[in-house]
Structure 1
Amino acid sequence: MEWLERMNRAMDYIEENLTGEIELSEAARRACCSTYHFQRMFSFITDVTLAEYIRRRRLTLAALELQQGGAAKIIDVALTYGYDSPVSFARAFHALHGMTPAMARQGGMELKAYPRLSFLITIKGAEAMNYRIETKEKFEVFGLERVFRTDGGGEAPQTPARLWEQSHANGEAKRLEERAGGLPSFVSPNLYAVNAVCSYRKTGPDTFPYMLCAFKDEASDTDGYATATIPAHTWAIFPSEPHPWEQFGETIETLYRRFYTEWLPTAGYEQADGIEFEMNGTKDGLNYIELWFAVRKK
């Protein structure tokens, strides 16, 4: 399947460059998606971040090299696998293997090995997925925009979750709600006025835009806010079951994981431009989520 081939091409590139520089933008290019979406997709599918997977693979190969003996110095092995000092290498090595690199040279030591990942077809789908396909004309949103690095670095807030926390704490989310106007007719009346959209414009190979947004209409007060025009698209929309607040994280993670691992590989669609909405609301007195993915037929 094409989706599997793309993901495995990306893994081939990573494996071939474990002893060199890994450009995440190149891995994402081979997977035919943005850097941001490649890392998100990887973590949802594998339950480990891409950075952690690369770290584990490098330390697995470093351990094999040390156990093979020879005259290679520990500093040389450290440099080969991306560590600029014996101290940082020893710290990372001990965290993974439970021993120092020097101890790993001794015979009979028990080390950990993380094999290369490959993406294969698995049998899933016993549990039904609720979704709908809708085509929407272009519309506008406005709100609080930040540009984040895909690795989570940079100035605070460093993650969308942190932006949500800060905006609720300082009242920005409430002020945006008050200036939002009404919900358009093409969205569920269960949704709140303030939601989120990401990857709606290009910002660079290793960054992505994220906006706490409201739909723009004639009654909206957009003064001081960023605005974005969302082009006409076909949307795959995945609603959650109503759930208590303490299950929010688990619920949204399950929706993302099932989209990437069950629906997307087999549905005959691919993501279009990477645009995603995270919609939140209430239904039957409980929390409710809709994930919108811009898609197109292959």
Structure 2
Amino acid sequence: MTDPSHLRFRRVLAYIDGHLDGDLSLDVLAEVAACSPYHFHRRFSALAGLPVHRYVQLSRFKRAAWQAAFRPMVSLTDVALDAGYESPEAFSRAFRQRLGQSPAAFRDAPDWRVWATAWRELDEVRRFHMPAGHHVDDVRIVDFPETAVACLSHVGPPERIGETIRRFIAWRRANGLPPSKSATWNILYDDPETTPPERYRLDLCASCADVPPNDEGVVAARLWGGRCAVLRHTGSEALLGDAIRFLYGEWLTGSGEEPGDAPLFLRRVAFFPDVPEHETVTDIHLPLAQ
């Protein structure tokens, strides 16, 4: 049975995610936790490993940093003010402290190696206190239609995938294929935990019937057509690996099914930072033997 205090704590984390633009004072969060403010901040620090004000600050900063990195149409001044910083200069100082670059320098030439470890504190809190908790009944089997996509491959260290994502976003924008009009997919060829970094491959894809010639390396491809096991993962990217392990381990072992001759692929349904992190939605597709 789950400890009620941990359920309250999980509720607080979800509330913070969903109200980054609102009042996240100690009194407000203590009320969400149904706990006295005198004890709440100590309880939060004991469970999260960092003070509540620091957790809120990092959560707001993470959203702002993702906007700076992947939403070039949003001005850095707007990003700073939306994150609660009093001025762009204050945001720039925080950005330098966490990522070693100013926001403008990062937009021009990001250091993705630093980016890859910048959110470790938050991710560890989420993995421990906000587990996905999937069940075998959550998995459905569908007949997935073969789907034409535009595809850009990332080959190399996983921590550098951000630069490939930015190239693909720019190509989609130039070709009028935003996520609202064209579904977003990833094809996962390798496990980053077991594959040498230089050999790691992941494909970024968008539904597209015709890919015009281009210099960005985007090519026409097709997603597997056939039976697939589909598991919807709602929550942080930090928990996606746990959901995939559940699908391959617990579900596949007890299902009587065998995987098909095609890699796992994902549909990105709702994106952070466009939605709160705990509300991001990813449909995991596991091709099955016919």
Do these two structures clear the TM 0.5 threshold for a shared fold by scoring above it? Answer: no
Larger relative strand fraction: 1
Q: TM-score if structure 2 supplies the norm length?
A: 0.39
Larger relative helix fraction: 2
Larger Rg: 1
Q: TM-score if structure 1 supplies the norm length?
A: 0.38
